[in-house]
Amino acid sequence: MKNVTVTMNEALLQRARVAAARDGKSLSRFIAEAVEQRVGRPLTQLEALERFLAGPPLHVLDENGKAPTRDQLYDDD
C-alpha cells in the first residue's frame, strides 16, 4: 500500500468522516473504496477471459462448421 495526501475543504472532510463512520470504515478505507468505484479494479485472468468469450462471435468456421486449413489461411491468391 502507498500513502497519498488528499487536499479538501473542511466541510467536505467533515462529511467524509461522518460517512466513513456511518459505514464503520476508516476514512482512508472509505476514500480508497470511493476511488475504486470510480476507476474500477483490475480484472482477474478469469474475468478477462470471460469478458472476451462473451464478446461478439468470431466467424471463422465455414458452413460445415470447419475451421480453415493452414493452406487456406496463408494462400497467396
pTM for this one? 0.56
- Burial letters for 2-38: b for 16+ Cβ neighbours within 10 Å, e otherwise? eeeeeeeeeeeeeebeeebeeeeeeeeebbeeeeeee
CA distance 69 to 24: 60
The C-alpha cell of 50 is what? Answer: 470471460
Over residues 45-61, the pLDDT tens digits come to 999 999 999 988 878 88
Distance CA 10, CA 61 (A): 62
pLDDT at residue 60, rounded to an integer:
83
